Amino acid sequence: MSEDIINKGVSTTAEEHVKRWCALAAPYPEPQVLRPNPYYASLLLEDYAGSVSEMTAINQYFYHYLTLYQYHDLAELQECVSIIEMYHLELLGETIRMLGVPPEYRTLTNNKPVYWNASYVYYGYGICDKLSADIAAEKSAIQQYRLHQQLIDDPYIKALLERIILDEQHHLALFSQAAAKYCPNIKV
């Protein structure tokens, strides 16, 4: 881990996450809900540990960090974004818990538990292949968050998803910049 993103305190506060260069410089709302709601929890579990999810993003970008080590700036970007996705996992996990459902790494869509699986990660081969998959992952995440924002009638959760979307849009821009530098031929 590079020096500037190591936090020496016991835990990382929301303010410290905002200071990471790959997060948008805007405050995060505290996780809060109007009242418990298992249906809303089941929607958020898809964002938390479904196939298009924070769990998948964390692990995909971390694998890309490990394998793109020859390209220092790209590796740093992947690592930083992976850490922000882990903060999103924390915010969603706390919200799911407040909605009355244990935040295990599984979805409960149609009441059927499906546990997160490492095959959800797009491992990839070369830089351009990995970056295209990362760009596609951010676009899918934004789309899924927008859909869930419409289905969830709780202003606290809507506000949290709005803030997470801002980070995903920022990540999309950062991955697109990296693609423009290393892969001028890919369409983003």
Task: List contacts with Fe ion (CB under 5 A).
Answer: 54, 85, 88
Q: Which is nearer to Fe ion, 10 or 107 (CB)?
A: 107
Q: Which is nearer to Fe ion, 19 or 72 (CB)?
A: 19
Q: How far, in Å, CA of 140 to CA of 160, rounded?
A: 18
Binding residues are: 54, 85, 88, 138, 171
**CB nearer to Fe ion: pick between 10 and 144:** 144
Please state the closest distance from residue 159 (CB atom) to Fe ion, in A: 16
Spatial separation of the C-alpha atoms in residues 81 and 95, rounded to whole Å: 21
In the bound complex, which residue of the shown chain has the CB atom lying closest to Fe ion? 88
- Amino acid identity at 41: A
Q: Which residues are annotated as a binding site for Mn(2+)?
A: 54, 85, 88, 138, 171
In the complex, least distance from residue 77 CB atom to Fe ion, rounded to whole angstroms: 14
Task: Indicate the residue type of 141.
Answer: A
d(Cα 41, Cα 113) in Å, to the nearest integer? 13
> Do residues 132 and 180 make contact, with C-beta atoms less than 8 angstroms apart?
no
Amino acid letter for position 15: E
Two structure tokens written together for 35? 């009242």
Nearer to Fe ion, 20 or 88 (CB): 88
Closest CB 184 distance from Fe ion, rounded Å: 27
Please, what is the Cα angle at 106 between 102 and 107, to 5 degrees? 95
> Minimum distance from CB of 90 to Fe ion (Å)?
11
The most distant pair of C-alpha atoms in the chain lies apart, rounded to whole Å, by 49
Closer to Fe ion by CB, 105 or 185: give it: 105
CB of 21 to Fe ion, least distance (A): 16
Element (H, E) at 107: strand 106-107
